[in-house]
Amino acid sequence: MGCWLGFGLAMAEARALLEVRNLHKRYGAVVATRDLNLTVRSGEFHALIGPNGAGKTTALAQLAGELRPDSGHIHFNGRDITRVAIQRRVHLGIARSYQITSVFPHFTAEDNVALAIQAAQGHSFRLWRSARRDDRLRQPARELLSRLGLYEQRNEPAAYLAHGEQRQLEVAMALASRPWLLLLDEPTAGLGAGGTRRMAKLLEGVKAEVTVLMVEHDMDAVFALADRISVLVYGECVATGTPDQIRANAQVRRAYLGDQMP
């Protein structure tokens, strides 16, 4: 009994990788992020859900460093990163993917991933040796592509990839820096049922090696993947808990009008 209690406490106190305290962001009269408090524990798969316009992407952009909050703090690995620029946060171990696919359209899939790997390696002021013949970039890029099911398409320009493949490329690029924390913004955006299942399966494989905070609309994917779920309504976190707790939460059901909650 005491053992189980101890285990429970250990879980509750599992090290917080990301801590968000009283984050606030407004655009004129619209409060996009309202006093947001959120903790992402090391090793967990955390989903951020909420109705349209709840400020999920805005929150993610602040965590990634693309938007600066008006007030509040973001701690990562025990360090206050609230005012650290996005390109620096990558080197601290945060990477993000985009809801609207944001890749390099004229580069091949392999180029895209290699460029992401190069960012993490540094050494980008090398002016002489060909980057496309650099095995320290190409080898890991191909490995990552095959893990995300894109090996066959590695020489296709990203612009010519199918939408689902571009979504996979998004995730591959975010993983390239070997982040501690992966911020995923709707990885299944625009995917059909088959594509969504495929993406969920790929993310299942990612889960073991990196802490994830994922914004997602597809509730099947959320409840299948997430260890914990936070619910955002009007920029405010109204509930955090395990999938079961969230499913049972009356406030959450009201926010979603009881519809798509499985």
Binding stretches for other proteins (CB under 8 A):
64, 66, 85-88, 90-91, 95-96, 98, 102-107, 111, 114-116, 118-120, 123-132, 134, 137, 157, 159-160, 173, 176-177
Q: How far apart are CA 148 and CA 240, in angstroms?
A: 30
Nearest-approach distance from CB 118 to other proteins, in angstroms = 6
Question: Toward other proteins, which CB reaches closer, 126 or 254?
Answer: 126
CA Rg, the chain, in Å?
19
Nearest-approach distance from CB 1 to other proteins, in angstroms = 48
Q: How far apart are CA 128 and CA 60, in angstroms?
A: 38
Nearest-approach distance from CB 188 to other proteins, in angstroms = 20
Question: Toward other proteins, which CB reaches closer, 213 or 229?
Answer: 213
Question: Toward other proteins, which CB reaches closer, 158 or 200?
Answer: 158
Strand 45-49, strand 211-215: pairing: parallel
Nearest-approach distance from CB 28 to other proteins, in angstroms = 23
In sequence order, what DSSP letters do the residues of 181-238 get, joined into one string?
EEEEE-TTTT--HHHHHHHHHHHHHHHTTSEEEEE-S-HHHHHHH-SEEEEEETTEEE
In what helix (H) or strand (E) does residue 19 lie, and over which residues does it extend?
strand 16-27
What is the total residue count of the chain?
262
Question: Toward other proteins, which CB reaches closer, 39 or 121?
Answer: 121
